[in-house]
Amino acid sequence: MRFTYKTEGTCSKLIEMDINDGVITGVKFTGGCNGNLKCIPILVDGMKADDIAAKLSGVTCGVRNTSCGDQLARAVLAAKEAEAAQKA
């Protein structure tokens, strides 16, 4: 299932991903720091949503209370919930 998440408090504006049985693939950020947002999708590809959230939740960027990684953690958990609702 393709899932789209609108970010808050970061330079990136949108995160898109595929989720299949809780496994995340095809992460794509819109906006943000080019290099970081190329690396993050490669690093998390094929990981379980819960593992991504455990690693990235709470990461901050500068003086912001969130980051693209933190927003991805929130996005994968939201995707997991959406997938479960779709299957119910």
Distance of CA 21 to the CA centre of its chain: 16
With both helix axes pointing from N to C terminus, report the angle between 34-44 and 68-87 in degrees, rounded to the nearest 10.
40
Give the chain's residues under pLDDT 70. Answer: none
- pLDDT, residue 36, reads 85
Domain, as residue range, for 8: 2-87
- pLDDT, residue 77, reads 98
pLDDT in tens, 38-57: 999 999 999 999 999 999 99
- pLDDT, residue 41, reads 96
Domain total in the chain: 1
pLDDT averaged over every residue in the chain: 96
